């Protein structure tokens, strides 16, 4: 599975959009991009995933570049409850999820 | 949908005792479940992959005789930490991958809330 690179931490003002980047320059054609988040002392929560098209659900939007070497998770209106560690994971379907260090997002009032 | 539970949520035990942690998929069936361990301020580390009706596959460096995994049904996997020592104190998290189409992403793993183990 391809490795990912994420900034270790980011801040965002409450009510603003949070844009979390992820680099996955070695991604292969059959690998999906997944995003999970982990709020302190809880299990990871699934957010969204995609292959090559942009995706949107009730939680977030996922923008994948045309060459698929990077992606951005967008939380459109961040709240204090969105403070968490966000993990970008790239894997082939049905392989296990392997977590990197993630990005610690702090939403500030 | 896609709820995974773990029991207990936390446990304190004496060194040398064994501890069993249960992982259940509450509203879906899962042929494959995964066990992770997370130390403070670190990311999740995959310990083993558990397949229903067969032996678990352990990651390199994880002792299979110390961390016994049983996946006896499509909704239950258990992790037993045998002869626990203080260095086994950690946050243990399981996840499950849905079997079949019930409006959930089959390729996605859903995680439990975790079990915090403290070995004295």
Q: Is the pLDDT of residue B59 over 90?
A: yes
In this prediction, residue A1 carries a pLDDT of 61
Nearest to B105 among A42, A43, A49 (CB): A49
Rg (CA), chain A: 13
Residue to mutate among B31, B43, B118, with most A CBs inside 10 A, is B43
Q: Is residue B35 scored above 60 in pLDDT?
A: yes
**pLDDT higher than 70, residue A34:** yes
The pLDDT score that the predictor gives to residue A68 is 95
pLDDT over 90 (residue B63): yes
Residue A47 has pLDDT above 90, yes or no: yes
SS3 A73: strand
Structure tokens at B23: 């992982």
Interface of A with B in 4-63 (CB under 8 A): 32, 34, 36, 38, 41-46, 49
pLDDT over threshold 90, residue A45? yes
At residue B28, the pLDDT reads 87
Chain B closest-CA separation from residue A57 CA (Å): 13
Q: Do B93 and A43 touch (CB under 8 A)?
A: yes
Query: In whole angstroms, what is the distance from residue B39 CA to residue A5 CA?
Result: 21
Cβ separation of A94 and B97 shorter than 8 Å?
A: yes
- Find out whether A81 and A14 touch, Cβ atoms under 8 Å: no
Which of A32, A38, A46 is opposite residue B110, by nearest beta carbon? A46
pLDDT band at A94 (very low <50, low <70, confident <90, very high): low
The residue of chain B with its CA nearest to that of A34 is B108
The whole-chain average pLDDT of chain A stands at 93
Going by pLDDT thresholds of 50, 70 and 90, the confidence category of residue B97 is confident
Is residue A20 pLDDT above 80, yes or no?
Answer: yes
Q: Which residues of B touch A (CB under 8 A)?
A: 2, 4, 6, 34, 36, 43-46, 49, 91, 93, 95, 97, 105, 107-114, 116
* Calpha distance B15→A15 (Å, rounded): 48
pLDDT (0 to 100) of residue B106: 56
- pLDDT of B105 > 60? The answer is no
Could you tell me the pLDDT band of residue B100, with boundaries at 50, 70 and 90?
low
* DSSP letter assigned to residue A5: B
Mean pLDDT of A84-93: 89
Please give the pLDDT value at position A2. Answer: 63
What is the structure's pLDDT at B56?
Answer: 92
For residue A93, the model assigns a pLDDT of 63
pLDDT given at position A28? 87
Report the pLDDT value the prediction gives residue B1, as an integer from 0 to 100.
67
Does residue B102 have a pLDDT over 60? no
Average pLDDT over residues A56-69: 96
Q: Report residue B89 as tokens.
A: 């104190």
């Amino acid at each position: 599975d391809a490795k990912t690179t994420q900034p270790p931490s980011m801040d965002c003002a409450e009510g603003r959009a949070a844009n979390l980047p992820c680099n996955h320059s070695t991604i292969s054609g059959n690998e999906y991009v997944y995003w999970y988040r982990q709020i302190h002392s809880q299990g990871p929560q699934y957010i969204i995933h995609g292959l090559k098209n942009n995706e949107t659900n009730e939680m977030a939007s996922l923008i994948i570049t045309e060459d698929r070497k990077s992606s951005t998770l967008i939380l459109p209106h961040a709240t204090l409850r969105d403070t968490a560690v966000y993990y970008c994971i790239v894997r082939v379907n049905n392989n296990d999820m392997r977590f990197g260090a993630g990005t610690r997002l702090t939403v500030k009032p | 949908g896609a709820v995974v539970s773990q029991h207990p949520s936390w446990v304190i035990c004496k060194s040398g005792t064994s501890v069993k942690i249960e992982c259940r998929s509450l509203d879906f069936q899962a042929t494959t479940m995964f066990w992770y361990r997370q130390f403070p301020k670190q990311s999740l580390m995959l310990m083993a992959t558990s397949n229903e009706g067969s032996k678990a596959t352990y990651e390199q460096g994880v002792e299979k005789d110390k961390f016994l995994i049983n996946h006896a049904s499509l909704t239950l996997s258990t992790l037993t930490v045998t002869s626990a020592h203080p260095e086994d104190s950690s946050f243990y998290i399981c996840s499950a991958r849905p079997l079949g189409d019930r409006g959930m992403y089959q390729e996605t793993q859903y995680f439990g809330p975790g079990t915090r183990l403290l070995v004295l």
